[in-house]
Amino acid sequence: MPHAVLPAALSALLVLSAVALLAWPARGSLFEGIAGGTAASPLAGLAGLVADKGLLALVAATAGLVLLTWFRDRPRFWLLAAAGLGTVAAYVTSEVVKLLVTEERPCRAVDVATVLACPAPADWSWPSNHSTIAGALAVACLLAAPRLWPLVVPLALAVAGARVAAGVHYVHDVASGLALGVLVTCLVGLTVHAGAQRLTGTQRLTGAQRVTRRSTGRPSPAARPTRGR
């Protein structure tokens, strides 16, 4: 089942990377147009809500899938668990990159009214943590249940877009965050899952070999010596 998701994930990774590269030179004007326009529009409240709380909807969807696969499909559950490790790895990676790059938040660099208050100093902008987690959770769900794409993909995109509309990230921040979440979750999740399957298969094979040796080591009833009366 993961193989059906991989081409789509690779395509998304390429598109998001291209968007990030193209948006970076015009980051200031894009941010001013999107964030400033949203702050002055009737959609300001919705954008702020999605930017602040929208990630919880993806967390809830993932939690529901965890429960469903635990009770109804254990192989998919273990695949989802491996992808969960990928999600954690993606978040940690985004935090490390933030500390290395130290890009200032656009709400501090661009003089424009925003929906959300600007985060504290040293809370760096690139890449977006919210977008990284959103992309990672979406991919984790898709690896275990590809049919959920009409739910999780729009949610991830909405969270990322709202972070720009609410005034706390540039466009290239959220595009890079989504790409990072997709990449790391796929790499770590599938690698961990494949390794676990190999280990389980080796243990089963070893156990079967032990049973075979025990059974072949016993003499058959016909070969056992009989005592005369």
Model confidence band, residue 215 (pLDDT cutoffs 50, 70, 90): low
Which pLDDT score, from 0 to 100, does residue 18 have?
Answer: 96
Most confident of 105-109, 131-135, 142-146, 191-195: 131-135
**Which element (helix H / strand E) includes 16?**
helix 2-23
pLDDT for res 197:
82
pTM of this structure:
0.86
- Token output for 151: 């739910």
How many residues are given for the chain?
229
d(CA 56, CA 76): 22
